[in-house]
Structure 1
Amino acid sequence: MNACGVRRRPGLRLGLLALVVLSFLVLRRLDWYHLVPPWLRRRQLGLQARGPTFLLEDSTFSIFGGSIHYFRVPREYWRDRLLKLKACGLNTVTTYVPWNLHEPERDKFDFSGNLDLEAFILLAAELGLWVILRPGPYICAEIDLGGLPSWLLQDPDMKLRTTYKGFAEAVDLYFDHLMSRVVPLQYKHGGPIIAVQVENEYGSYHKDPAYMPYVKKALEDRGIVELLLTSDNNEGLSKGVVHGVLATINLQSQKEILFLTDVLLGAQGVQPKMVMEYWTGWFDSWGGPHHILDSSEVLKTVSAIVRGGSSINLYMFHGGTNFGFINGAMDFDGYMSDVTSYDYDAVLTEAGDYTAKYFKLREFFSSLSGVPLPPPPGLLPKTTYEPVMPSFYLSLWDALKYMGEPITSASPVNMENLPVNNGNGQAFGYTLYETTITVSGILSGRVCDRGQVFVNTVSVGFLDYDSDKIAIPLIQGYTILRILVENRGRVNYGKNIDGQRKGLIGNLYLDGVPLKNFRIYSLDMKRSFFERLGANNWSSVPEEPSFPAFFSGILSAGPSPSDTFLKLEGWKKGAVLVNGQNLGRYWDVGPQETLYLPGVWLNRGANQVIVFEEEMAGPVIQSMETPHLGRNHYID
């Protein structure tokens, strides 16, 4: 089905694939198997775990893989990134499948554009790569709620990642649709998928012993016939093993290898060893450093893993970008949301450029291949454009009149339970709450994640995880209290994912008295949101603009637009959209200082740039050829 829920006609390639497979089955049933071409005849056994060795059919096989997430890379660049993976000496690409992006509304699926999973898998096959699919339903991946759709949280009793009826029924319906797409792309059906992962790092969660067997059966019942895998880190390896499923491990340092492989041996006996995630770097959080892992250390660890007889998957080979608001968050010693860039200090940069890690690993894998590797593709050009000077302006308060009637409610309603998105609630962006007050006092309440508080249109401070109270000054006359709440990213890893509702949670109090009669605006910042603002409702930028506000300007590109990086020096916090594509968040707390703008999203000539700024506007939006991801912190 497409994004509107209308079933598509199968693509030509899938139709031909199905015809070949059907012909194979008919010939075999008629005992004319000798007429089947040898390349298809051999696709009987697939990838097998035979003692300590992987076999692909009857040949010894080592998985040299790398992770690329199709949803974090512009579709036009998939081929470039996959060719670079192959030229590094790798034979397999692994990818997660984000449920929250593919089913934004219940039973309404989107596998179009950048979410065309089948096209990505078929492209990998065309380029001679195998595929390991990691469909979840939970994927972690530093993505909002670990890839689970936020509408699941409309159920106040929801128990995510368990056999709780409400969760299992939703998984079943999602898998019904997803597996109908990927089953024909399995190895035994002539496709490139050689293995499928059962959930993700469940051993470190482990709230329901029946859950992993349920997911395994859900995959098999829907036609998954390839080798099944689990993957766990050292925290959960001993609890993540499932009968009949090959366990693999996730790690970063050499000192973990012997320990974890011993645990693996004790958990499942003699089986092929595989590091499903060797972490080539690490992700970054707002307010923290940019994490770096030395290339020599990466080479030493990869060499030790492979020389020790283990298959390996590099996580990440190419990280890409958390475009829009899809980033996740962590909550261990406090809530920290992830930055827009998913550069990860990976083997390829966020923009697909080579690193020292790439060339060292290419030399290493070349020494194992016995045949010359294909030459690395040339780099995509980068450029600097003239600075963008915003010409037009629309304050948030003026924009509200174009949003339609607000939602009215006696008490605050959290994002997920707002009656929007065809009853599926709000997943991403901001929500504005308004009510009328007549007295001053101390405002308090639970705000997730960050709420800017206004008296009429004057900002008086913030409510967040560190500040749960704020003084509201006395103002004569009619006073509107406003709280602009941002979902900065739902936690994607840990025990508390059930509690990731956003917005105002429960009552908002003024001197201990609950406030009533709210008007609520859903500000999801989708394309349709900006279409409602209209082209004729903006004015020239005033000398002293009020905030929050939208700013619009033109980026001029030549006949062949190239990649660039936008820097918003002098701006405080917000998001940038170019030609309707949400590049993601910026924030002057760092570490990230630039936003990646793919050249394929630019038009020849004029390109509209819209900035939503919460607090303070800079004079211009700069562009540059190189990214600035912040001060480096070397991972120990």
Structure 2
Amino acid sequence: MKRILLACALAIAALPAIQPANAEKPHTLATQGDHFTLDGKPFQIVSGELHYARIPREYWHARLKMARAMGLNTIATYVFWNVHEPTPGHFDFSGQYDLAAFLKAAQEEGLYVILRAGPYACAEWEFGGFPSWLLKDPRMSTALRTNDPAFMVPAERFITRLAQETSPLLAVHGGPILAVQVENEYGNFGNEKAYMAHMLQIFQSTGFKDALLYTVDPSKALANGSLPGILAGVNFGTGNAQPALAKLAALRPGQVLFATEYWPGWFDLFGHPHETRPLAPQLKDIDYVLSHNGSINIYMFHGGTSFGMMAGASASTGNYRGNVTSYDYDAPLDEAGHPTPKFFAYRDLILKYTHEKPLPVPAIPDVIAIPPFTLSKSIPALSPLPKPIDSATPLSMEQVGQDYGYILYRTFLPNPAHGTLDLGPVHDYAQVYLDGVLTGTLDRHYNQTSLPITTTRQATLDILVENTGRLNSTKHMREEWKGIRSATLDGTSLTGWQIYSFPFHTPPPTNLPMETRHLEVQLRGPHIASGTFTLTQTGDTFLDISALGKGVLWINGHPLGRFWNIGPQDTLYVPAPWLKKGRNEVILFDLFPAKPGVTLAGLTKPILDGPTPTYATDPERKKKEAADAEFGPKLAAPAPPKE
């Protein structure tokens, strides 16, 4: 029997890999000296990045057709662990997150794929793509992105599952995936060689062993993040092609020059001006890469939208700053999939090197205006309150099993109080109420942790905290729990807490019975509002949210994203497939008090450069922006916003 089983196992192992449904002939990408080869012939990768999770599934093919029309032969995409394993051991590769379907769509549009498997992504995405439940383990404060089993065991579980999902689509099996990335910009984070070696071993022990594996790092961190014998690529921004490729060549003499991320734009932060980059130096950069026989991945070709609560946060300016919902990135293809002047200029330059004939540029989706409509319903938020978690001390979102949204902490002050309420680190935006009356706010953007409170009698203390997005880079990610974890009044710890979770995975209800609404009006300010509008035809539009305060918004049940009246984003992108002929419904949660007669409207053009608070004088700012080498601009912090 043992011999029979062994013979069966050997026979199965000898079978060819399962071919994807739309498989082409197998292809092999390799390196030969200073260039790539595809099936033994010289090949130059001309790639652009776009992310399946940032594009409505109904538009995947449209965006990919645009990529091909710009002259690209390859696209790259990150993989976001958090959307695929929302709870430990439970995987989701369906619907919007059907990664295999996206990769097959790329192949159907004549494109190869670079799979940026992670498990870390960055990408201005919530927690850099890591699932928030990792932070429930206190060991993660030192273990994240290290060889510690606390991190490596779940990471290996995910990579193994990802390989099962995507390895049949490797080019060697007839699929579109030419190369697979190991980790991401690790040299920017640390230099633990054992960790990177272990990560490589995981990739090589799964179905990814048949792919060309590679690492990427900014030029300043190449030595820290690269692996011996594994292809290394370099990331850089506008005006830095020559020095960045020179550093790669110095580290890896004779290796392929691979610009694994070339940044034609930058991301936007709440309260900061909209970011753009000039075109002329970008054309020089791309020309330099391609003329030196290099390969390139343009990050981003199309940024798309961080729908829902998937926008991350940055500490690149020295302080915490939340990313806005739009990920337009000043890319060649804008947030709504429209070609920009960059698109056409890039195309002309790319075709100069690929010698292909220009393809017709696909028609863009219809764009419609929606006449102003009033938010007709407005009810107190967080009503009725769900069942609380009782705790002696405040617990973070992760400790109570919550990932995104809002969390309410409630305790009772038995005596009159006049002193300083200190919450320690606030992650990220807290409103403090006494008996339902707003006393003050604490905002992590401005390092606010305490405020004076006064009561003349017994009082209920409520602290409502918003998760504005977890940091997506730096070692500060290890402490990116959300909520609060301590509270003192004049140095004395407050105890006896009731904790209420509001993750808002779905829109909050707006049809509460009147008697329920009056029973739970403890928090005067945060509210749920809704309104409807009617369409005779659908099309993309840009919802003007400039009259709103701070919160999140859904349309027909689809989560559009966060809004905040400190700018610069004053519209939210609404894709046509999420609208319908007839009645459409908008629901929003707003932390700030309702204003009577608020109207919304759908515009035909986005407003991504709305007004932002006045900046501190910075005579070096222009010089800094001109020298924006690798990690983006270092902008001065804005003044705290007024509610």
TM-score normalised by the chain length of structure 2: 0.87
**Residue 109 of structure 2: aligned partner:** 127
Deviation at 1:318, TM superposition (A): 0.3
Identify if the C-alpha distance between structure 1 residues 458 and 608 changes in structure 2 by more than 3 Å, giving closer, same or farther. same
1:87 aligns with 2:65: no
Deviation at 1:305, TM superposition (A): 1.5
Identify if the C-alpha distance between structure 1 residues 205 and 83 changes in structure 2 by more than 3 Å, giving closer, same or farther. same
Equivalent of residue 571 in structure 2, options 594, 607, 610 = 594
**Residue 524 of structure 1: aligned partner:** 503
Q: Structure 1: any 5+ residue segments left out of the alignment?
A: 1-20, 27-37, 419-424
Equivalent AA in structure 1 for residue 375 of structure 2: P
Q: Output the CA distance in 2 between the equivalents of 1:415 and 1:178.
A: 27
Q: Output the CA distance in 2 between the equivalents of 1:470 and 1:207.
A: 40
Q: Output the CA distance in 2 between the equivalents of 1:599 and 1:149.
A: 30
Equivalent of residue 470 in structure 2, options 457, 480, 490 = 490
**Residue 325 of structure 2: aligned partner:** 340
Per-residue displacement from partner, 1:520-560 (whole Å, max 9, x unpaired)? 11111111x635x65656989xxxx94100001112222x3
1:240 aligns with 2:225: yes
Contact 1:298 1:357 in 2 (8 A): no
Contact 2:303 2:331 in 1 (8 A): yes
Aligned residue for 2:299, secondary structure, equals: strand
Q: Pick which of 386-395 and 451-460 moved more.
A: 386-395
Q: Pick which of 378-387 and 178-187 moved more.
A: 378-387
Q: Output the CA distance in 1 between the equivalents of 2:14 and 2:327.
A: 42
Equivalent of residue 155 in structure 1, options 137, 142, 145 = 137
**Residue 169 of structure 1: aligned partner:** 153
1:433 aligns with 2:409: yes
Aligned residue for 1:291, secondary structure, equals: coil
Q: Output the CA distance in 1 between the equivalents of 2:147 and 2:45.
A: 32
Contact 2:378 2:594 in 1 (8 A): no
Q: Output the CA distance in 2 between the equivalents of 1:62 and 1:626.
A: 36
**Residue 508 of structure 1: aligned partner:** 487
Aligned residue for 2:371, secondary structure, equals: coil
Equivalent AA in structure 2 for residue 464 of structure 1: D
Q: Pick which of 123-132 and 454-463 moved more.
A: 454-463
**Residue 639 of structure 2: aligned partner:** none
Deviation at 1:259, TM superposition (A): 2.6
Q: Counterparts in 2 of 1:3-42, with a 5 A limit?
A: 40=25
Q: Output the CA distance in 2 between the equivalents of 1:259 and 1:318.
A: 26
Aligned residue for 1:242, secondary structure, equals: coil
Q: Output the CA distance in 1 between the equivalents of 2:297 and 2:336.
A: 21
Quote the sequence identity (%): 38
Equivalent of residue 547 in structure 1, options 525, 537, 546 = 525
Contact 1:66 1:316 in 2 (8 A): yes
Per-residue displacement from partner, 1:30-67 (whole Å, max 9, x unpaired)? xxxxxxxx973x64xx1111100100111110000000
Equivalent AA in structure 1 for residue 281 of structure 2: E
Equivalent of residue 251 in structure 1, options 236, 243, 250 = 236
Contact 1:571 1:616 in 2 (8 A): no
Q: How many residues were matched structurally?
A: 583
Equivalent AA in structure 1 for residue 126 of structure 2: D
Equivalent of residue 396 in structure 2, options 383, 407, 414 = 414
1:97 aligns with 2:97: no
**Residue 308 of structure 1: aligned partner:** 292
Q: Output the CA distance in 1 between the equivalents of 2:416 and 2:29.
A: 70
Equivalent AA in structure 2 for residue 472 of structure 1: I
Contact 2:381 2:589 in 1 (8 A): no
Contact 2:238 2:277 in 1 (8 A): no
Q: Output the CA distance in 1 between the equivalents of 2:124 and 2:161.
A: 24
Equivalent of residue 568 in structure 1, options 525, 542, 545 = 545
Equivalent AA in structure 2 for residue 503 of structure 1: G
Per-residue displacement from partner, 1:426-464 (whole Å, max 9, x unpaired)? 111110111111332210012111111111211111123
Q: Output the CA distance in 2 between the equivalents of 1:308 and 1:400.
A: 64
1:472 aligns with 2:453: yes
Equivalent AA in structure 2 for residue 436 of structure 1: F
Equivalent AA in structure 2 for residue 626 of structure 1: K
Q: Output the CA distance in 2 between the equivalents of 1:268 and 1:367.
A: 28
Identify if the C-alpha distance between structure 1 residues 555 and 297 changes in structure 2 by more than 3 Å, giving closer, same or farther. farther
Q: Output the CA distance in 2 between the equivalents of 1:496 and 1:23.
A: 47
Q: Output the CA distance in 2 between the equivalents of 1:595 and 1:430.
A: 21
Deviation at 1:253, TM superposition (A): 3.0
**Residue 579 of structure 1: aligned partner:** 556
Aligned residue for 2:307, secondary structure, equals: coil
Q: Counterparts in 2 of 1:364-403, with a 5 A limit?
A: 364-397=349-382, 399-401=383-385, 403=386
Contact 1:330 1:492 in 2 (8 A): yes
Q: Output the CA distance in 2 between the equivalents of 1:585 and 1:54.
A: 42
Deviation at 1:257, TM superposition (A): 2.7
Equivalent AA in structure 1 for residue 601 of structure 2: Q
Deviation at 1:123, TM superposition (A): 0.5
**Residue 636 of structure 2: aligned partner:** none
**Residue 605 of structure 1: aligned partner:** 582
**Residue 632 of structure 2: aligned partner:** none
Equivalent of residue 298 in structure 1, options 282, 291, 294 = 282
Identify if the C-alpha distance between structure 1 residues 584 and 39 changes in structure 2 by more than 3 Å, giving closer, same or farther. closer
Contact 2:17 2:173 in 1 (8 A): no
Q: Pick which of 450-459 and 279-288 moved more.
A: 450-459
Q: Output the CA distance in 2 between the equivalents of 1:89 and 1:578.
A: 35
Deviation at 1:207, TM superposition (A): 4.6
Deviation at 1:201, TM superposition (A): 0.4
Per-residue displacement from partner, 1:220-262 (whole Å, max 9, x unpaired)? 10121111111111231121210221000001133x3333223
Per-residue displacement from partner, 1:182-229 (whole Å, max 9, x unpaired)? 110001111000000011001111252211111111111012111111
Q: Output the CA distance in 2 between the equivalents of 1:353 and 1:475.
A: 59
Contact 2:122 2:473 in 1 (8 A): yes
Equivalent AA in structure 2 for residue 375 of structure 1: P
Q: Output the CA distance in 1 between the equivalents of 2:546 and 2:109.
A: 41
1:452 aligns with 2:408: no
Q: Output the CA distance in 1 between the equivalents of 2:513 and 2:333.
A: 43
Aligned residue for 1:351, secondary structure, equals: coil
Equivalent AA in structure 1 for residue 255 of structure 2: Q
Deviation at 1:105, TM superposition (A): 0.2
Contact 1:338 1:489 in 2 (8 A): yes
**Residue 43 of structure 2: aligned partner:** 61
Equivalent AA in structure 2 for residue 550 of structure 1: I
Q: Output the CA distance in 1 between the equivalents of 2:499 and 2:191.
A: 35
Q: Pick which of 136-145 and 561-570 moved more.
A: 561-570
Per-residue displacement from partner, 1:347-398 (whole Å, max 9, x unpaired)? 111111110100101111222232313201011111111222112222025x
TM-score normalised by the chain length of structure 1: 0.88
**Residue 356 of structure 1: aligned partner:** 341
Deviation at 1:297, TM superposition (A): 2.4
Equivalent AA in structure 2 for residue 226 of structure 1: A
Equivalent AA in structure 2 for residue 219 of structure 1: F
Equivalent AA in structure 1 for residue 476 of structure 2: N
Q: Pick which of 98-107 and 295-304 moved more.
A: 295-304
**Residue 604 of structure 2: aligned partner:** 625
Q: Structure 2: any 5+ residue segments left out of the alignment?
A: 1-12, 612-620, 627-643
**Residue 14 of structure 1: aligned partner:** none
Equivalent AA in structure 1 for residue 358 of structure 2: L
**CA RMSD between the two structures:** 2.1
1:72 aligns with 2:51: no
Q: Pick which of 286-295 and 545-554 moved more.
A: 545-554
Q: Output the CA distance in 1 between the equivalents of 2:484 and 2:495.
A: 13
Equivalent AA in structure 2 for residue 435 of structure 1: T
Q: Output the CA distance in 2 between the equivalents of 1:436 and 1:549.
A: 23
Aligned residue for 1:235, secondary structure, equals: helix
Q: Output the CA distance in 1 between the equivalents of 2:321 and 2:88.
A: 29
**Residue 421 of structure 1: aligned partner:** none
Q: Output the CA distance in 2 between the equivalents of 1:393 and 1:53.
A: 62
